[in-house]
Each structure stands twice: as structure tokens, then as C-alpha cells.
Structure 1
Amino acid sequence: MPALKAGDSFPSDVVFQYIPWTEESGEITSCGIPIPYNASKEWANKKVVLFAVPGAFTPTCSVSHVPGYIKNLPNLREKGVDVVAVVAFNDPFVMSAWGKANQVRGDDILFLTDPDAKFSKSIGWADEASGRTSRYAIVIDHGKVTYAGLETERGSLKKSGADAVLASL
């Protein structure tokens, strides 16, 4: 499949993994049980911002990328966004811990995992050398892609940062 672009339908078979946040497992040292997250089904009738990072706990991702979305959650909600999700190739335990480290509670931002960067590879947006997820953002509105931006410069958030996504809404 070529890279997603505005006007495309979101694929019908996208399943990530994640660990749902719960109060009883809200501490960073607590582990939950990974479950499948059928994004195609869950997002079919919602407005969604999906942004991808090369890896949890990495410099640009932790210092700028995720914090930008946390800060802009109210603005994204004002624009009608129902779901904000971040995805990386890391396992669900690391992604869960990263959400907790960023003090994200509940489902404010879903911390999803794309094992082996399967989804990112399917849309041509995985790093060839490392096999990791590239840095990108996609807006899906009721199953249709309305924005898709892939970063081509290392550490850049010009296309995938919260400000760029907000400008596209």
C-alpha cells in the first residue's frame, strides 16, 4: 500500500496493541495486560489524530512531540477530535509506562504499539534502516484520511507536531 494521503480511506484491518489505563494500575511500576486495539473498528465513526514516533522515551518524542499533544488536548477537542493516539514500535509495556511517565490518565491519549512497525511499513512510513516507525501524523474523520504528514527531517515536528495538526483541522 502506498503512503496514506488526504482523501484515502483508512485501512480496514489496522490492529494495534495497548494496555488500557486503570486507576489500580496507574503507577509507572504497575503492569497491565496487553490487549488488541482494533483501530479500524474503533475509529470508524470518530475524528482521530494518530501521531507516530520512532520510539518511546527518546529525546524529541519525550521533550517535544508528546508534550505538544498533551498541552493541546483542549484545542484538539474544540476542533471535534474524539481520539488522540500515539503509536510506536515499542512493546505495550513500554508504551504504557511512557503514558504514565507523562502523567496521561484514562484515555486522554492512547499509547498504542505497532509491533514490528507493521502498520507503518504497510503505508510506507517506517524507517528502512532501523525498522522503526517513522515520525508522522494522520487525521482520520469517520474513516477518511483528511491529513497525512510525514517528517523527512530528523527531529522535526513541522508536519507531525500538534501545531501542524491543529492547523490542518
Structure 2
Amino acid sequence: MTIQVGDSIPTAKLMQATAEGPKEVSTEELFGGKTVVLFGVPGAFTPTCSARHLPGYVQNIDVLKAKGADVVACMAVNDAFVMGAWGKDQGVADKVVMLADGSADFTKQLGLELDLTARGLGTRCQRFALVAKNGKVAHIAVEAPGAFEVSKAEAILGAL
């Protein structure tokens, strides 16, 4: 079942690329006591994700923070090295936290997995965005297949 407004963010470990190598990030550390915008994409370096989804959050980071977001994070079912390289390619710097859910464990706990095996991509994450306040979901928007409307940065601004 897909996570809903009012639900607690599940306990999980994600990975983040750092200069010292991959670093484990717990969801308790990420979401505890903060307002967090987390958006998920089917994959790093994929067309809509690279041309529109991630860039929209990078471009709107100041407005998102001004509206109360303490952290803005992007997650995909990729490894930390790929997420780090994608962040560099997109000029993310320290604006958006790039998180890897390599085995889709957290994605499955959220109920947001997407089976793209037929396209040679395996299990991925649905395109979504959520706002969490102190570890509880305050807003969630999951895209219909092939759509890009409710999870873009401009749409999430209204939820903050």
C-alpha cells in the first residue's frame, strides 16, 4: 500500500555520495525534526528526470527553502555513485541532497515501486514528491504513468 498523509516515514538506510565515498543516511536523521521535500524519480540520467524534474527543484531551491523546506532531497533506485555523478552533471552542488535507494528497499516500504523489467530497468521508483514534517507525511503526490504534473517543484510549492 502506498504511504499516505499522516503516515510516519519508514525507518530505512539510504546512501549518499561524498568525497570520502558512499555515506549511509538514515531516514530518522534525514526527516527527524525537519520539513523535508523528497521527490523520487525512475532513474538518474533519464530524459524527463534530467531535463525537467531535478532541474525544477534546483531552480526553485530558494523559494522552497523560503516556504519552509529545511531539506530538499532527490531519490532514485540507483547506486550512490550514479546519483553523485548525476548531481554533478546537473550542477546540484549542495542545493538538493542526492539519495540512492540501490535495492529499492525504501521505495518498497513507501509502496512506490515500479516494475520496469520489460524495459530492461528492473524495479524502479514511481515519479512522486512528498512533504514530510517531523517524520510524518504532510503531502504526497504520485504521478500517473508517463505524467509530469503533480510532483514537479512548482506543484510542491503549494503544499509547503
Determine helix, strand or coil for the equivalent of 2:104: helix
In structure 1, which of residues 82, 85, 92 is the aligned counterpart of residue 73 of structure 2? 85
CA deviations on 1:80-123 (whole Å, 9 max, x unpaired) are: 100000000111101001111111213x2111000121111122
* 8 Å contact from structure 2 (residues 150, 156) kept in 1: yes
RMSD (Å), alpha carbons? 1.3
Paired AA for residue 130 in structure 2 = I
Does residue 56 of structure 1 match 2:44? yes
Q: Give the structure 1 partner of residue 156 of structure 2.
A: 165
Paired AA for residue 151 in structure 2 = S
Unaligned 5+ segments in structure 1 are 26-31
* 8 Å contact from structure 2 (residues 9, 27) kept in 1: no
Does residue 39 of structure 1 match 2:27? yes
CA distance in 1, matches of 2:5, 2:52: 25
Q: Give the structure 2 partner of residue 3 of structure 1.
A: 2
Identity between Structure 1 and Structure 2 (%): 40
CA distance in 1, matches of 2:148, 2:32: 27
Q: Give the structure 2 partner of residue 17 of structure 1.
A: 15
CA distance in 1, matches of 2:137, 2:156: 13
CA deviations on 1:31-72 (whole Å, 9 max, x unpaired) are: x41111012223210000000000000000000000100111
In structure 2, which of residues 84, 91, 102 is the aligned counterpart of residue 96 of structure 1? 84
Q: Which is strand-richer, 1 or 2?
A: 2
CA distance in 2, matches of 1:17, 1:114: 7
Q: Give the structure 2 partner of residue 143 of structure 1.
A: 135
In structure 2, which of residues 54, 61, 66 is the aligned counterpart of residue 73 of structure 1? 61
Unaligned 5+ segments in structure 2 are 117-121
* 8 Å contact from structure 1 (residues 19, 35) kept in 2: yes
Per the normalisation by structure 1, the TM-score is 0.87
Question: How far is 1:143 from its partner?
Answer: 1.3
In structure 2, which of residues 92, 95, 98 is the aligned counterpart of residue 111 of structure 1? 98
CA distance in 2, matches of 1:68, 1:55: 16
